[in-house]
């Protein structure tokens, strides 16, 4: 890729955000940890140095050798990056009197500078640093100041090296996107050609080249990522893509049949495998959430392995891995500490030994959706709420039986259909029902009842890391509660979960 932007990560919480903003400008970029600068930089047109939780004065602070970069490629150094260039090139970085955090305004901007083209004085920026640049490095030219920060931005004379102490990637920097565009397009000359259409064309031809006439197996989940990955691969290799869609018996009501149908209509070569009984059997008597998750994970691996063996001469395993997972595994701090438990002490199941192909590994979630749209995947499928892999098993608190699954599927169906009917579905990030291990007293006609309680949960979120409960209209809740209690045998009480994450989680188990 000749038009690539290299983002060198010094461990800032905002690094991913820089990448997202660059991609929003339709410019492709990749994040590398500061200690793994690629040897071959010929594909890159510009470099952005990220911020960092470190102080440049700390002994263990990141200290990469930038000799292959500086003066050779246009550089935009953000926050730590800006301080790093100053500190090691004759400038002076010291602790600021007060921690400079939050909104500030660029009270002075030097005239005629491309980096600040179309950005006016008083533009709001976001500061987040406890060190500050007291003196600029050699050949430093000050470009902007705020009331408290004299050297808010500078460049180095004679090279295309720019540095800013504020964060253009944060929305509170109102002209941040303009500044990034000024740097990437006007200064570095990158073209804004990274569009979903361009991605599809490039990926399909790369997949064709890589896979040739080999066979690929892929597990479909009904979710956005695996579906988009499948459609891309299908475009590249057609019938040589073998999709497997497993019914674990813990999906939403009618979901297996309807999603399988949709997949077939999309022309995918897909086999639906109803393994509900096998999963129920594996879950028998288990009530610990992690034990349930493990039993489901292991059973899935067994079922998938059996099915993969049915396809002769398969070479590749395709996965819907997306960029945040990739970044996590190569981040400055190393892979996340969660170590996936593995069922098979005797070695990996055969399908895990296949070569892996991951067509979405460079995309963020919203980009996957945009690519899905470009591929004309059904809007309803692309807009579906996230649904956990272990499905209803972690929404039935305690042990699982076929009857409990039936009850929860009915309740969930009424709730979700209601959200759709009331045009609330797309306003909610995720919703579902939980079957509580509690019975409560009620009356129906002249009879006392002693039946199940269900909770409804609907949250707003962007990534599931934090979430707020949704203020659903009382009339909607009232109607939904009535319908559930009237129609679902075995339930006589409905409650609504009004806890946010943190401290609660989205799922109850
Ligand atoms: P929590 O409950 O941790 O959920 O706030 C955050 C997001 O993750 C989903 N989730 C899971 N997804 N396997 C999955 O594939 C799991 O075991 C699992 N547990 C939680 C949850 O639905 C929410 O979107």
Lowest mean pLDDT of 4-18, 185-199, 274-288, 347-361, name the range: 347-361
Q: Where are the chain's structural domains?
A: 4-187, 196-382, 401-496
**Per-residue pLDDT at 347:** 64
Q: Is the pLDDT of residue 1 over 60?
A: no
79: annotated active-site residue:
yes
Using DSSP bridges, classify how beta strands 447-460 and 491-496 pair: parallel, antiparallel or unpaired: parallel
CATH class of the region 196-382: alpha beta
**Residue % of the chain over a pLDDT of 90:** 86
Summarize pLDDT for 253-268 with one digit per residue, the tens.
999 999 999 999 999 9
Residue owning the nearest CA to atom 6 of ligand 1:
464
Annotated catalytic residue within 29, 30, 79, 307: 79
Compute the distance between CA of residue 371 and CA of residue 36 in angstroms, rounded to an integer: 29
**Per-residue pLDDT at 24:** 92
Query: And the tokens for 76?
Result: 């935009």
State how far the alpha carbon of 333 is from the alpha carbons of 9, 10, 59, 160, 219, in Å. 10, 10, 17, 30, 30
∠ CA 339-342-347, rounded to 5°: 125
Summarize pLDDT for 391-432 with one digit per residue, the tens.
999 999 999 999 999 999 999 999 999 999 999 999 999 999
Query: And the tokens for 12?
Result: 């800032």
Query: And the tokens for 498?
Result: 């009004």
- Residue with the bigger pLDDT between 129 and 196: it is 196
Counting ligand 1 atoms within 8 A of each CB, the residue from 385, 464, 465, 466 with the most, and so the one to mutate, is 464
Long-range contacts of 286-290 (CB under 8 A, 24+ apart): 286/399, 286/400, 287/398, 287/399, 289/394, 289/509
Compute the distance between CA of residue 207 and CA of residue 133 in angstroms, rounded to an integer: 48
State how far the alpha carbon of 66 is from the alpha carbons of 1, 387, 461, in Å. 22, 44, 39
Residues forming beta bridges with residue 70, ordered by sequence position: 73
Domains 4-187 and 401-496 share a fold: no
Annotated catalytic residue within 30, 129, 160, 167: 167
Annotated catalytic residue within 100, 160, 169, 307: 169
243: annotated active-site residue:
no
Quickly state the pLDDT bin for 344 (edges 50, 70, 90).
Answer: very low
Quickly state the pLDDT bin for 343 (edges 50, 70, 90).
Answer: very low
Closest approach atom of ligand 1 to CA 432: 22
What is the mean pLDDT of the segment spanning 45-52? 96
Q: Is the pLDDT of residue 335 over 50?
A: no
- Residue with the bigger pLDDT between 351 and 260: it is 260
Quickly state the pLDDT bin for 328 (edges 50, 70, 90).
Answer: confident
Compute the distance between CA of residue 408 and CA of residue 251 in angstroms, rounded to an integer: 10
Residue 507 alpha carbon to ligand 1 centre in Å: 6
Q: DSSP 3-state assignment of 368?
A: helix
Query: And the tokens for 290?
Result: 């992690």
Closest approach atom of ligand 1 to CA 507: 2
Residue 229 alpha carbon to ligand 1 centre in Å: 21
For 324, phi then psi, to 5°, come to -55, -35
What is the mean pLDDT of the segment spanning 96-125? 93
* DSSP code per residue over 243-270: EEEEE-S-S-TTHHHHHHHHHHHTT--E
CATH class of the region 401-496: alpha beta
Q: How many CA atoms lie within 13 A of 97 on its CB side?
A: 2
Residue 387 alpha carbon to ligand 1 centre in Å: 8
What is the mean pLDDT of the segment spanning 492-504? 96
Lowest mean pLDDT of 26-35, 326-335, 420-429, 489-498, name the range: 326-335
167: annotated active-site residue:
yes
Residue owning the nearest CA to atom 21 of ligand 1:
388
Q: Is the pLDDT of residue 493 over 70?
A: yes
Ligand 1 pocket by C-beta < 6 Å: which residues? 293, 386, 388-390, 430, 464, 501, 505-507
Q: Is the pLDDT of residue 337 over 60?
A: no
User: Average per-residue pLDDT in the chain?
Assistant: 93
Answering whether pTM is above 0.95, one says: no
Residue owning the nearest CA to atom 9 of ligand 1:
388
Specify burial of residue 315 (Cβ count, 10 A radius: 0-12, 13-18, 19+): middle
**Per-residue pLDDT at 352:** 86
Residue owning the nearest CA to atom 11 of ligand 1:
388
Summarize pLDDT for 153-207 with one digit per residue, the tens.
999 999 999 999 999 999 899 999 999 999 999 999 999 999 999 999 999 999 9
**Per-residue pLDDT at 333:** 62
**Per-residue pLDDT at 325:** 81
Query: Which of 172, 58, 61 shows the shortest CA–CA distance to 125?
Result: 172
Counting ligand 1 atoms within 8 A of each CB, the residue from 224, 388, 499 with the most, and so the one to mutate, is 388
Lowest mean pLDDT of 64-73, 246-255, 318-327, name the range: 318-327
What is the mean pLDDT of the segment spanning 468-474? 98
What does the H/E/C string look like for 181-226? HHHHHHHCCCCCCCCHHHHHHHHHHHHHHHHCCCEEEEEECCCHHH
- Fold designation for 4-187: Rossmann fold (3.40.50)
Q: Is the pLDDT of residue 475 over 70?
A: yes
**Per-residue pLDDT at 101:** 85
Query: And the tokens for 509?
Result: 């188990």
Compute the distance between CA of residue 305 and CA of residue 163 in angstroms, rounded to an integer: 52
What is the mean pLDDT of the segment spanning 481-495? 97
Closest approach atom of ligand 1 to CA 430: 24
Quickly state the pLDDT bin for 454 (edges 50, 70, 90).
Answer: very high
Q: Is the pLDDT of residue 385 over 90?
A: yes
Asked if the peptide bond before residue 503 counts as cis, ω within 30 degrees of 0, the response is yes
Query: Which of 322, 319, 351, 310 shows the shortest CA–CA distance to 233?
Result: 319
Counting ligand 1 atoms within 8 A of each CB, the residue from 429, 506, 509 with the most, and so the one to mutate, is 506
């Amino acid at each position: 890729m000749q038009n690539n932007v290299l983002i060198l990560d010094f461990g800032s919480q905002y690094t991913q955000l820089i990448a997202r903003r660059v991609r929003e400008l339709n410019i492709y970029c990749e994040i590398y940890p500061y200690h793994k600068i690629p040897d071959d930089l010929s594909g890159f047109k510009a470099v952005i140095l990220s911020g960092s939780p470190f102080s440049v004065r700390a002994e263990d602070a990141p200290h990469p050798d930038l000799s292959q970069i500086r003066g050779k490629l246009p550089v935009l150094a953000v926050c730590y990056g800006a301080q790093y260039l100053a500190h090691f090139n004759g400038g002076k970085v010291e602790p600021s009197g007060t921690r400079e955090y939050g909104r500030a305004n660029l009270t002075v901007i030097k005239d005629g500078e491309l980096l600040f083209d179309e950005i006016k004085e008083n533009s709001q920026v976001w500061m987040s640093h406890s060190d500050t640049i007291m003196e600029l490095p050699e050949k430093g030219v000050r470009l902007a100041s705020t009331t408290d920060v004299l050297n808010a931005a500078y460049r180095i004379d004679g090279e295309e090296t720019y540095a800013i102490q504020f964060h253009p990637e944060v929305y509170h920097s109102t002209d941040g996107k303009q500044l990034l565009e000024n740097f990437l397009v006007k200064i570095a000359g990158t073209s804004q050609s990274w569009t979903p259409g361009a991605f599809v064309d490039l990926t399909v031809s790369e997949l064709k080249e890589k896979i040739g006439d080999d066979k690929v197996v892929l597990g479909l989940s009904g979710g956005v990522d695996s579906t988009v990955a499948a459609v891309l691969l299908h475009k590249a290799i057609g019938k040589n893509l073998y999709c497997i869609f497993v019914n674990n018996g813990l999906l939403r009501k009618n979901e297996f049949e309807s999603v399988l149908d949709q997949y077939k209509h999309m022309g995918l070569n897909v086999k639906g495998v109803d393994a509900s009984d096998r999963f129920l059997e594996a879950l028998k008597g288990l009530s610990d959430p992690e034990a349930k998750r493990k039993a489901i994970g292991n059973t899935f691996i067994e079922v998938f392995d059996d099915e993969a063996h049915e396809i002769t001469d398969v070479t590749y395993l395709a996965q819907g891995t997306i960029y945040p997972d990739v970044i996590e595994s190569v981040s400055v701090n190393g892979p996340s500490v969660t170590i996936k438990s593995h069922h098979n002490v005797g070695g990996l199941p055969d399908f895990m030994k296949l070569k892996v192909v991951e067509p979405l590994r460079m995309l963020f979630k919203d980009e996957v959706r945009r690519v899905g749209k470009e591929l004309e995947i059904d809007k309803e499928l692309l807009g579906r709420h996230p649904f956990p892999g272990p499905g209803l098993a972690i929404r039935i608190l305690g042990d699982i039986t076929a009857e409990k699954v039936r009850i929860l599927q009915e309740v969930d169906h009424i709730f979700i259909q209601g959200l759709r009917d009331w045009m609330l579905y797309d306003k909610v990030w995720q919703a579902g029902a939980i079957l509580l291990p509690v019975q409560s007293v009620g009356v129906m006609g002249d009879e006392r009842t002693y039946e199940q309680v269900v909770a409804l949960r609907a949250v707003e979120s962007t990534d599931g890391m934090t979430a707020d409960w949704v203020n659903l209209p009382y009339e909607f809740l009232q109607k939904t509660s009535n319908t559930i209690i009237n129609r679902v045998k075995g339930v006589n009480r409905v409650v609504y979960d009004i806890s946010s994450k943190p401290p609660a989680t989205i799922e109850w188990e």
